[in-house]
Structure 1
Amino acid sequence: MTSVFKYRGGDWPIVKRDLLSLAKNEIFAAPFESLNDPFEAMAVIDGRSFEIGSLMLRWPSPKTPDQINAGSLKFTTAVDQFVQFTKGVGVYSLSGSVMDELLWAHYGNSHKGFCLEFDLEQLLTYKLEAEEVLTVEYVPQPPKISMVSFVAETSSKEKLLQKLIATKSCRWEYEKETRICVGKAGLREYDYRALKAVYFGVRCERRLIRLAMRLLRGRGVRYYQMQLVKDSYQLQAVEVDDEFSGASPYRGSLARLEDGIPFLDEKTRPYEEELRVAIELARREPYCEKIMDAYISGSRGTPESPVFYVTYERSDGNQLNLYYTLQEVRDN
Structure 2
Amino acid sequence: MSVIKPKCLYKFRSINLDHKVGIERFKQIVIENKLYFAAPSEINDPFDCKIPPNFDADEKTLRQFIIDETRNNPDFPGAPDSVIESFADDVIASDGVKKLSKDMLASMRLAQGQILNRNVGVCCFSAVKNDILLWAHYANGHTGICLEFNIQKGIQLFHRAKPVKYYKSYPNVNFFKCYHKNEHWMPKILIAKANCWKYESEWRVFKFDGPGLEIFPECCLTAIIFGCQMQDREKHFLINFVKENKMGIKLIEARMKENKYGLKFMQIT
User: Same fold by TM (over 0.5)?
Assistant: yes
Q: How does 1:75-114 map to 2 (within 5 A)?
A: 85-86=115-116, 87-114=118-145
CA–CA distance in 2 between the matches of 1:72 and 1:45? 10
Question: Amino acid of the residue matched to residue 261 of structure 2?
Answer: Y
Structure with more contact order per residue of length (Cα contacts < 8 Å, sep ≥ 6): 2
CA–CA distance in 2 between the matches of 1:79 and 1:38? 15
- Report runs of 4+ in structure 1 exceeding 4 Å deviation: 72-85, 150-153
Query: Per-residue deviation at 1:19?
Result: 2.2
Q: Does 1:232 align with 2:260?
A: yes
CA–CA distance in 1 between the matches of 2:142 and 2:53? 37
CA–CA distance in 1 between the matches of 2:34 and 2:46? 27
Q: May I ask how many residue pairs the two structures share in their alignment?
A: 216
Give the structure with the higher percent helix: 2
Q: How does 1:172-191 map to 2 (within 5 A)?
A: 172-183=197-208, 184-191=210-217
CA–CA distance in 1 between the matches of 2:195 and 2:167? 5
Equivalent residue of 2:41, what SS? helix
**Structure 1, gaps ≥5 residues long:** 48-67, 242-332
Q: Does 1:45 align with 2:54?
A: yes
Equivalent residue, structure 1, for 2:183: 156
Equivalent residue of 1:71, what SS? helix
Cα separation, partners in 2 of 1:238 and 1:76, compared to 1, 3 Å: same
Equivalent residue of 2:219, what SS? helix
Output one character per residue of 1:76-110: Cα deviation in whole Å (capped at 9) or x when no partner: 78778866652321100000111011000000100
CA–CA distance in 2 between the matches of 1:213 and 1:171? 35
**Structure 2, gaps ≥5 residues long:** 1-5, 57-97
Query: Per-residue deviation at 1:169?
Result: 1.1
Question: Amino acid of the residue matched to residue 222 of structure 2?
Answer: K
Question: Amino acid of the residue matched to residue 134 of structure 1?
Answer: K
Equivalent residue, structure 1, for 2:80: none
CA–CA distance in 1 between the matches of 2:47 and 2:139? 23
CA–CA distance in 2 between the matches of 1:25 and 1:119? 14
CA–CA distance in 1 between the matches of 2:52 and 2:169? 9
Equivalent residue of 2:12, what SS? strand
Cα separation, partners in 2 of 1:82 and 1:121, compared to 1, 3 Å: farther
Q: How does 1:198-237 map to 2 (within 5 A)?
A: 198-217=224-243, 218-237=246-265
Q: How does 1:113-128 map to 2 (within 5 A)?
A: 113-125=144-156, 128=157
Q: Does 1:142 align with 2:170?
A: yes
Equivalent residue, structure 1, for 2:65: none
CA contact (8 A) 2:161 2:206 kept: yes
Give the structure with the higher percent strand: 1
CA contact (8 A) 2:38 2:212 kept: yes
Cα separation, partners in 2 of 1:219 and 1:192, compared to 1, 3 Å: farther
Q: Does 1:20 align with 2:27?
A: yes
Query: Per-residue deviation at 1:115?
Result: 0.4
Question: Amino acid of the residue matched to residue 198 of structure 2?
Answer: E
CA–CA distance in 1 between the matches of 2:107 and 2:169? 26
CA–CA distance in 2 between the matches of 1:166 and 1:224? 30
Output one character per residue of 1:29-67: Cα deviation in whole Å (capped at 9) or x when no partner: 1111211111112246258xxxxxxxxxxxxxxxxxxxx
Identity across matched positions, percent: 22
Output one character per residue of 1:198-230: Cα deviation in whole Å (capped at 9) or x when no partner: 100011122322332333334411111111111
* Superposition TM-score, scaled by structure 1 size: 0.57
CA–CA distance in 2 between the matches of 1:213 and 1:78? 49
For the aligned residue pairs, the C-alpha RMSD in angstroms reads 3.0
Query: Per-residue deviation at 1:141?
Result: 1.3
Query: Per-residue deviation at 1:73?
Result: 6.9
CA–CA distance in 2 between the matches of 1:219 and 1:94? 24
CA contact (8 A) 1:44 1:143 kept: no
CA contact (8 A) 1:8 1:115 kept: yes
Equivalent residue of 1:45, what SS? coil
- Of the three residues 206, 218, 221, the one matched with 1:192 is 218
CA–CA distance in 2 between the matches of 1:81 and 1:122? 38
Question: Amino acid of the residue matched to residue 33 of structure 1?
Answer: S
CA–CA distance in 1 between the matches of 2:193 and 2:249? 33
Equivalent residue of 2:267, what SS? strand
